[in-house]
Structure 1
Amino acid sequence: MKAGKTEKTGVLDDAAAAAGKETFDLTASEWYLNRELTWLEFNRRVFHESTDARNPLLERIFFLAVIGSNLDEFFMKRIGGLKQQVGAGVKLRSLDGRTPQQQLNEIYAVIHDIFTRQQATEHELLALLAGQDIHILPCSALNEQQRHRVTAYFRDNIYPLLIPQGMDPAHPFPFISNLSLNLLVGTRHGKGEHTYLNRIKVPTTGSGIPRFIQVEPNQFVFVLFEDVIADNLDIVFPGMKIESCELFRVTRNAVTEQWSDQAVDLLSMIETALQDRKFAEIVRIEVNSDMTLQHREMLACQLGVDAHKDIFTVSGIMAKRDLMEIAAIDKPELHFPPHQPLDHYKLTGDFPDIFHLIREEGPFLLQHPYESFSSTVERFLKEASTDPRVLVIKMTLYRTSADSQIIQYLLDAARNGKQVAVVVELLARFDESANIHWATHLEEAGIHVTYSVVGLKTHSKVIFVARRDYDGLKIYAHIGTGNYHADTARTYSDLGLLTCDRDIGDDLTEFFNFLTLGYAPARNYKKLFPSPRILKKVLLENIRQEIEHQVRGGQALIQLKSNALTDADIITALYQASQAGVRVDLIIRDSCLLRPGIPGLSENIRVVSIVGRFLEHARLYYFKNSGREQYFIGSADLMLRNLEHRVEVVAPVESPALQKQLREMLNLQLADRRGTWEMQPDGTYVQCQPEGKKGKRSSQELLIQKSEKRLAAVRRQQRKLYPKKMVRRKEE
């Protein structure tokens, strides 16, 4: 495959013209949707899962909590950035022709609508929970015995943690930390006329106390942390009359970094930026519905926000992301049927080491969370860390979990005399502190740690293992679409490839040299397509080739699966493919700026979004290529940042057996009538409706079933071949 042209527009004009289609000005803003608004549309789809009675009740609570978490991040990342642009007087328009201020105005209208629906749904779900003997009550609704127990709990566990702060001329308004819950308490001395305002931070973080405090040890009766404090203010302010108690919460801008290409000490810069983020400007204040207008305006003045635009009234539970605690209640009948990731059907049982299996029976396609991360990726790294034939391990690390074995296996490898190099991405948003910790820990163990290439985030997910085999040095590799994160591997739908392909090994040697050197001399790649230099050109060239196949009467089809589609050049190319008559199927999880179904422009393009119990996270690119089919998986989304400003890796899947698995997955997802939403030309989505009994099962449910059947078939065969010696690997 050859790289295409480098022009940013008009890459495929000649081919489109050859198809004899109507000419459109593909630079016109009317053909593009807004990134922020389409992301909010995605959250409407997620929110709908909380209203869908087909989902188990506690799963509906989970989706309600997800929306709370997503909106917190949206305010910190996206609204914070737009506010910075407005403050700086930026008038640059987005791809769809909106100024930053216009985007904010429309965003707020959508968010207020989501808030209204979210709060109504919360009220409905709490009533349904009560019907299942799960109660979230105010302290005032507890019986005398329960209230006495809660007060005793407050004295022993909460009261010593509180730091009440007065606000008067001698005590200025205190600093309010990001996403913290705060009580604004009005107190008065006896018969005095003056009311004093005080602030109490609810110590939910790091205290070991849950947000939802269980009242009875054997019953699902809960009270909120802040309500327990509010109910015991007479202990906090002895001898004082409590005039008022109101709850508020602030959200701060997380877009504070000002990176320099001349950075000398990136680690130091990021630590400084994290500190700056703690004191960044506030972009939202949430207040409970009982807060007085006077106190709302006081908070707006003290915290520097617009009292009309930036204050949001919350009825019900504030910080709804904490409802994750309720969603985790152990009531199986109120959850999805349990799913435990299974062993990969080719990597199960008492068989030779993983390197032998990859060499003799590979490559292997991994499908998480249907197949275990522990018995595939972690096993690969674990065996590499102890295998005496393994000489070198290299990997990229964007995000990992605190309880992941990945770090431990890297440390074990270093202790066992392996050369270990890890490229840690310090700029992984909201994981900077954790990554600084891991990087320091790895360096202290003698591991070579590199902090990516200046000016580029390293978002690729690759592991490189050099092993001295019986026939010489061989490179084994894992290339994935998801992070090396044990927790998300259970809830994100991702793909991975375990291979010892020689060309891929050679390419990864070049790739890691580029990363550890920190600059980009010309490098030749045989099979891998890294960004920012190669991947986008290859994708555009492949789209152009599909147009040529269509025009010449060959077989043409484009199917792309990605988290987002926002890159203008890719969208332009796909429009031109549709104009040429190429069928284009797009499975885009959240933001999609392309408008399907427009006559003469995109009537051959279908866009769907899958929402279910697992977060769709895989990136898969397919081209029919006149029968010489091409499948690619990797870390890159179809976004400008991924294709031009990040280090990504996309790899071909060439094995017919593995291509068959990918085809099966794509067909299931494109035929899904349970978990799929179809995009309309105006950017709205319509939920697909099941047709017949088969249509009632989502593609995710069917993929669970297929992974179970594959493993069961292999185990039946193993029992026939090894009836006495068969030892099953314990399922995760």
Structure 2
Amino acid sequence: MARPKNDYINREISWLHFNDRVLQECADPKVPLIERLRFLGIFSNNLDEFFKVRYATVKRIVDAGKSGKSVLGGEKAKDLLEEITTNVIQLQSKSSQILGEIQEELKEQGIYIIDETQVESDQEDFILEYFYEKVNPELITIILNKDVDFPRLKDTAAYLAVRLVLKSKDKKEESKNFQYALIEIPSSIDRFVVLPEKDGKQHIIILDDLIRFCLGEIFTMFEYSEISAHMIKITRDAELDIDEDLSKSFIEKISSSVAHRKISNPVRFVYDKRIKIDTLRFLKDKMDIEETDSVIPGGRYHNRRDYMGFPHLGRTDLQYGKIEPLPIKGFDLKKSLFAQVAKRDYLQYVPYHTYAYTVNFLKEAALDPKVTEIKITVYRLAKNSQIAAALINAAKNGKKVTVQIELQARFDERANIKYANQFKEEGIRLIFGVPGLKVHSKICLVEREETPGQISRYGFISTGNFNEKTARIYTDYTLFTAHEEILRELDKVFDFFETSYKINKYRHLIVSPHYTKNAFLRLIDNEIALAQEGKEASVKLKMNSLTSYKMVDKLYEASRAGVKVQLIVRGICCLVPGVKGMSENIEAISVVDKFLEHPRLFIFGNGGDTRMYLSSADWMTRNLDNRVEVGCPIYDPEVQQELLETFEICWRDNVKARIFSEKHDNAYRKTGKPEVRSQFATYAYYQNKLEG
């Protein structure tokens, strides 16, 4: 087999392959119909974020006059922009076809998504009343003419570009007499308007079409012979440009930078491909759309991310059944969690386990008279966070509470600024991290004076955010421990936030940016040495993304030495597995299913004495070199066994696992063995543990 053109797959293209896997869920007839629509919303939301961040970054390289080959896996930035646009057009076309198929299947279930041309006479009164009561007060309509500057369109907001053909006494001139306008689709109103049930059938009209139906009610002041409205949307560069003004606080700088996103440069322009050519030309001219912007002809509707909120309609048969999160065997929520953790480590694996353990741990800390101090990192909190409430409660009870809050958590900056101000008002001590580094670690440390003058430590280390909402849909591990040496080193991490010039040494934790990359390279080197001695050597890895070329090269080296490498990577994977002479001992899969796979788990055979780590860090350059991340060793034999068994369940998946290969075709993995759908099998595994 010939070697591929490049040893790596470009990360942006690999990301598009990941989003194609999300789109596969939309097309899968085994997925309930309404869930398929929601996956379509996830696909669209992902694409919006991709253009805001990744496409914008590549565009900046082009605008700077650089090729970018060294950081883009061997591809030139300008060629990559064209390749991305071509790929996205194909994906958008595919998504439109899938949406059409889903709508036909919905009709078979008595659910009809109608447009403005399909409104029946007995539905008109409801629609007009809904328009005047709820929609019209929220509408922003801009008449475009020479006397008004073209408005700055909001990032990823949806607009109807309206074209009126004005009446004229001279019929020959009428076809040239146009009036253009823009209507911003209100984001404050549900995108899907459920009409009164009729003859046992459910009818839904999308807000865009309801507005189209009412165009005559909006433009009564114009005399026109023809009116039409087509959707447009722009995506702006979301990178934060931090103000260097030393007189401003860090919160002020981040707030200013987030506000600047509203006026940052556009990087993508999407339009309804049926729009009139004169309207399109007018808009592109007025918006200064550049050659390096991605211009994508799309379908009738944009902002399909709204399908994530498609109405339930009371049809539980068309949705995934809810799973009831389970208790952790032997870890009793009705008793002191500290007393139990003092005896052994416990593993929480959400959403299979209830998230109540994390919340209750902090609630107990807030009330326990013996607890003196709580330290925690915050990256993304839920909108109404029980975690935040527990921390505030602790501060009110006289505990010393320190919160390291990451103000640059992308797209959560506003929420985190709000929480930071709230924490400050409640007397919580805030740390804003390390200059030049994001703090992405998920750690908590509690100090408890169990006898006068004697401090004992308890804590937890997680692979995911401390967020009750995402804990219902993201899979993540959290280790609860009272291991004194681990927690003493955790305290060093909090010290580093405040004295970043002092680089601490760690015997147990693996901490970015100073140690993570080299620590994992050494662990792989150890497996290589074992393989070269003719001994069994293995590396089992589970993460969100693998983009660090340094780590990819080391895995290639391990493969050539005979180390068996198993990779479970949900998203981007720049490594090409299964290539003779380079990666024939590497197998790699991606699992995309009901829940979003989010853990980072690293297992090294070590000649039978397995070494195992949970971490907040993917193997991406940013996580290894430019963020504060914490990896924690697993010492408890029961937890080790549990992690090995859940990894193996995921590895055996032959229903929702796709294979990474040179073909990049997202082929489903078929093993010929009995079906294993790993997420459902993992839930069953924990049910069996409780019964055993």
Scaled by the length of structure 1, what TM-score is found?
A: 0.89
1:238 is paired with a residue whose SS is coil
**Helix, strand or coil: the match of 1:31?**
coil
Deviations 1:409-445 (A, max 9, x none): 1110000000000001011111111111111110111
**1:355 partnered with 2:335:** no
Which residue identity does 2:285 align to in structure 1? C
Give, in whole Å, the separation in 1 of the partners of 2:617 and 2:247.
Answer: 26
Does residue 1:216 correspond to 2:196, yes or no?
A: yes
1:661 positional shift = 0.4
Name the residue aligned to 1:479: 461
Question: Which amino acid is 2:86 matched to?
Answer: A
Question: Using a 3 Å threshold, how does the CA distance of structure 1 residues 291 and 640 change in structure 2: closer, same or farther?
Answer: same
Structure 2: gaps (5+ residues): none
What CA distance in whole angstroms lies between the structure 1 residues aligned with 2:300 and 2:140? 25
| DSSP 3-state at the match of 1:120 | helix
SS at match of 1:662: helix
Q: How does 1:632-647 map to 2 (within 5 A)?
A: 632-647=613-628
2:520 aligns with: 539
Counterpart of 1:98 in structure 2 is 75
Query: Is 2:564 aligned against 1:583?
Result: yes
User: Does structure 2 retain, via aligned residues, the 8 Å contact 1:122–1:316?
Assistant: no
Distance 1:228 1:272, change over 3 A: same
Give CA-to-partner distance per residue, 1:157-206, whole Å, 9 cap, x none: 111222322111222212211111112223366546433212221112xx
Q: How many pairs does the alignment contain?
A: 679
TM-fit CA distance, 1:405: 0.3
- Aligned: 1:326 with 2:303: no
CA contact (8 A) 2:81 2:292 kept: no
Counterpart contact for 1:528–1:650, Cα < 8 Å: yes
Counterparts of 2:246 and 2:7 in 1: how far apart (Å)? Answer: 38
Q: Does 1:672 align with 2:653?
A: yes
CA distance 1:369–1:520, shift in 2 (3 Å): farther
Matched, 1:460 2:445: no
Contact residue 236 and residue 265 of structure 2 kept, 8 A:
yes
What is the Cα deviation at residue 388 of structure 1?
0.8
Candidates 680, 684, 688, aligned match of 1:705: 684
SS in structure 2 of the partner of residue 708 of structure 1: helix
CA distance in 2, matches of 1:330, 1:181: 28
Secondary structure of 1:198's aligned partner: strand
- Contact 1:395 / 1:463 at 8 angstroms: preserved in 2? yes
Q: Report the CA distance between 1:349 and its aligned residue.
A: 5.6
CA distance in 2, matches of 1:309, 1:277: 17
1:11-160 matches, within 5 Å, as 30-93=6-69, 94-160=71-137
Q: Deviations over 1:444-473 (max 9, x none)?
A: 111111111000000000011001124831
Structure 1 position 522, deviation (Å): 3.1
Q: CA deviation at 1:123?
A: 0.5
The residue number in structure 1 matching 2:269 is 285
- Which residue of structure 2 lines up, in the alignment, with residue 497 of structure 1? 479
1:337 corresponds to which letter in structure 2?
Answer: G
Over 3 Å counting, the alpha-carbon distance change for 1:567 and 1:138 in structure 2 is same
Alpha-carbon distance in 2 for matches of 1:188, 1:574: 63
Change (3 A) 1:355 1:185: same
- Following superposition, the deviation at residue 261 of structure 1 comes to 11
What secondary structure sits across from 1:30 in the alignment?
A: coil
8 Å CA contact retained: 1:261, 1:455: no
Compare relative contact order (CA 8 Å, sep 6+) and give the higher one, 1 or 2: 1
Letter of the 2:50 counterpart: F
Distance 1:307 1:185 in 2: 25
Q: Where does 1:379-394 land on structure 2 (aligned, <5 Å)?
A: 379-394=360-375
Letter in 2 for 1:305: I
Quote how far apart the aligned CAs of 1:135 are.
1.6
- 2:326 is matched with 342
Is the 1:399–1:435 contact (alpha carbons within 8 Å) kept by the matching residues of 2?
Answer: yes
284-293 vs 668-677, which moves further: 284-293
Kept in 1, the 8 Å contact 2:527–2:606? The answer is: yes
> 1:684, 1:422 → 2: CA distance?
44
Distance 1:685 1:200, change over 3 A: closer
Question: Cα RMSD over matched residues?
Answer: 2.1
| Partner in structure 1 of residue 581 of structure 2 | 600
Q: By how many angstroms is 1:246 displaced?
A: 2.2
Aligned equivalent of 2:668: 687
Aligned to 1:21: none
CA 1:259–1:549: 2 relative to 1, 3 Å: farther
Offset, 1:329: 4.3
The Cα of 1:544 is off from its aligned counterpart by: 0.6
SS in 2 for 1:469: strand
Quickly say closer, same or farther: Cα 1:480–1:174, change in 2 above 3 A: same
The secondary structure found in structure 1 opposite 2:629 is strand
Distance 2:35 2:358 in 1: 28
| SS of alignment partner, residue 91 of structure 1 | coil
Q: Distance in 2 between matches of 1:680 and 1:250?
A: 34
- Judge conservation of contact 2:59–2:292 (CA < 8 Å) in 1: no
Deviates more, 1:155-164 or 1:263-272: 263-272
1:311 CA displacement: 2.9
Structure 2 counterpart of 1:722: none
- Paired residues for 1:353-432 under 5 Å: 353-360=336-343, 362-373=344-355, 375-432=356-413
Corresponding residue for residue 721 of structure 1: none
Who is 1:237 aligned against?
Answer: 219
Of the three residues 181, 190, 193, the one matched with 1:198 is 181
- Name the residue aligned to 1:169: 146
In structure 2, what is the equivalent of residue 439 of structure 1? 420
Q: 1:330 to 1:453 in 2, by over 3 A?
A: farther
Q: Secondary structure at the match of 1:235?
A: helix
CA drift of 1:51 comes to 0.8
Aligned to 1:273: 257
Q: Which residue pairs with 1:622 in the alignment?
A: 603
Matched residue type, 2:478: G
- The DSSP-based 3-state class of the residue aligned with 1:406 is helix
Aligned counterparts of 1:214 and 1:548: Cα–Cα separation in 2? 64
In structure 2, distance between residues paired with 1:542 and 1:235: 69
Aligned to 2:554: 573
Q: For residues 250 and 683 of structure 2, what CA distance do their matches in structure 1 show? A: 43
Name the SS for the 1:177 alignment partner: coil
Change (3 A) 1:304 1:189: closer
Question: 1:640-665, CA deviations, whole angstroms, 9 ceiling, x for partnerless residues?
Answer: 11000000000001111111101101
CA contact (8 A) 1:59 1:335 kept: yes
Which whole-Å CA distance do the structure 1 matches of 2:623 and 2:162 have between them? 47
CA distance in 2, matches of 1:190, 1:302: 25
Partner Cα distance (2:246, 2:575) in 1: 37
Query: Aligned equivalents of 2:196 and 2:447: distance in 1?
Result: 56
Normalized against structure 2, the TM-score is what?
A: 0.94
Q: Aligned AA for 2:580?
A: P
Partner Cα distance (1:78, 1:125) in 2: 30
Distance 1:46 1:310 in 2: 22
Distance in 1, matches of 2:341 and 2:114, equals 56
Q: Measure the CA separation in 2 of the matches of 1:102 and 1:342.
A: 50
3-state SS, counterpart of residue 183 of structure 1? strand
Judge conservation of contact 1:561–1:586 (CA < 8 Å) in 2. Answer: yes
Distance change >3 Å, CA 259–CA 705, structure 1 → 2: farther
SS of alignment partner, residue 150 of structure 1: helix
Aligned residue type for 1:284: R
